[in-house]
Each structure stands twice: as structure tokens, then as C-alpha cells.
Amino acid sequence: MNTAFTLPLANTDRRTSTGVIDHFHASAALYKVWSPEGHLHFGYWAWPTRMCDRKAMLENLVHRVVRELKPMPGQRFADLGCGYGSSARLVAGTYTTCVSAFTVVPQQVEEGQAEADREAVDVTMHLRDFRSTGLADESMDGVYALESLCYDDGPGKRTVLAEAARILKPGGRIALTDGFILKAPKGWRKRMVETTERGWAVPCFPRQRAFLNALERAGFTDVQVHDLSWRVGPSALHGLPLLAWTWLRERFTGARLDPLERAHLKSCFNGILLGTQRDLFRYLLVTATKR
């Protein structure tokens, strides 16, 4: 049976970590409405999945990303920004791999490790910043991240990419999804981006050009970019009725939302609108191989 590692948030921006912890703590109930299983990302639609089946689409995204790593039984993967470990458990159970999963939120570690032990999958939840994992050099066969590298600082997410390169074996692969800004937003679109980032406690969304440059500087090659925007759109639209239900519940029951919950919901709405700005914002899958 695995045990959760409780390690210091070393060599990181503690203010950033504190903001992220506060956000996920305050919004935990809202995230569980989105996914009772604990997935904290959008879903991926592909035939024959029904567009009304959010759970299946959420799991589809995990498989779409991790299959880019060419998983083999017994390999070791790192999940950077794992949330409740739902994706890590799915990966470990489906592909018979060992997954080291990282989050700075204590509640997520506790819940995720308990569920991993219950399912008897090879997942170890680490309470540690993904920019300083504590893993040995060149110890991982693959690294993946689902809408989480945006929590690193800077437009290129240089620090976490350097850490990913450090822990990957030569020839190991990284695969990740996130929302990317394609060009500098201006006017009302700049305000929309900033509001979305602030409500999700994201320092800034990755900028595509800066991110790809940072990948190459970190020692990655064979960089490929896939636009999944249309594939995640059906799951994103699931957010609209959930937002309406939450606001109506507050209005008619008197259940007041925490300010951080309110900011989160505002970001969810703005995030859906942002997805319609195709010249500015894309939902991308990025893969690369360590030299």
C-alpha cells in the first residue's frame, strides 16, 4: 500500500502556491459538481461517445493525452498538477503503470491517496509543488499534465518544463493539454483573459510561442501541437447549465457563495466565451521528446 508523501514546497513561489490552495479549497464543492470522480479538466469528445456523457468525455481526454506517451506496463509516469488523482488512477489502472502524482492541495492528496489504496492501483500522491518534485534525475518514462502547467509562473512555464526535462529519461516523452494564448490580448479581451486567470488562481495562461521556445530550451525535440478546441467544446458547454443551476440555487435558497467560489464561476463563464475567440485562444495538446 502506498503512503502519501508530505514534502515541503521548496524552491517555489509560496504566494502562488497559497493562492492555488485557497482557490481549490474554496471551490472543491463546485468541482465535485463538475466531476464527482474528481476530474478537474475539460473532456474530449470522439465518436461513439455521447455528447451528454461528461464522465466519458473526461476520461477520453486522459486517454488522448497519455496514449501520446506510448505507455507500457511497468513504466513510471509523473502527473504534474494531479488534483484529486483521478487521472493518475485511471492511467495506473488502465496501462499497469506506476504514477507519481503532484499537487499542493492537502485535501486532494488525502482523498486521492485513500482512493488509490482502495482501488489498489500503483499511485503515490505527493504534497509538493510540481516545479520541485524531489524525484531522481532521469527516473520517469513519461510526464503528463492536464490543464495544470498554467499554474507555473511566466508565459513560457519555463520552470516546470525544466523540472519535467530533469526527471525524464532520455527519449522519454511529455504530453500536456492547456488553454494557450496565441497573441497579446487587447481591450475587452485583455480584461476577459485577466478575469479568467484571476478567478482560477492562474498566474497567466501559457503563451504558445513562449511555451514552445521554453520546451526547446529545456532540451525537448520532436515538438508537436494538436488543436483540440473543437473536441473539448461539447464538454465545455456542459458548464452552462451547471452555472445556471448554481446561480439559481443561490438566488432562491439563500445559500451564499464564497467570494472565491463566485470568482471561480465567473472564470468558468468567461472561459467558455474565451474559447470562441479562435484568433486569440486555443485548447492545445502539446507533445515532445527529451533529447
Q: Where do the structural domains in the chain lie, given as residue ranges?
A: 5-180+204-236+279-290
- Give the type of residue at 122: D
- The grid cell for 17 is 502556491
Between CA 81 and CA 105 the distance in angstroms is 10
d(CA 71, CA 25): 32
Q: Are 165 and 218 in contact (CB under 8 A)?
A: yes
pTM (two decimals): 0.93
Question: How far is the C-alpha of 215 from the C-alpha of 163, rounded, in Å?
Answer: 11
User: What pLDDT is attached to residue 247?
Assistant: 86
Dihedral over Cα of 115, 177, 172, 64: its sign: positive
pLDDT along the chain (291 residues), means of 10: 44 63 95 96 97 98 98 98 98 98 97 98 97 98 98 98 98 98 97 96 97 98 98 96 88 85 94 96 98 94
Q: Would you state the pLDDT for residue 257? A: 87
Determine the residue type at 211: F
* C-alpha count within 13 angstroms, C-beta hemisphere, residue 168: 25
Q: Between β-strands 140-146 and 168-181, what pairing exists: parallel, antiparallel or unpaired?
A: parallel
Can you tell me the distance from the alpha carbon of 121 to that of 106, in angstroms, rounded to the nearest whole number?
20
CATH (residue range 5-180+204-236+279-290): 3.40.50.150
Provide the 10 A C-beta neighbour count for residue 255.
9
Closest by alpha carbon to 145, among 135, 131, 134? 131
Q: Which residues contact 199 (CB under 8 A, 6 or more apart)?
A: 263, 264, 265, 266, 267, 268, 270
- Euclidean distance between the first and final Cα of the chain, in Å? 34
Nearest Cα residue to 1 out of 102, 133, 136, 114: 114
The mean pLDDT of the chain is 93
Model pLDDT, residue 253 = 83
The CB density around residue 113, as the number of other CB atoms within 10 Å, is 23
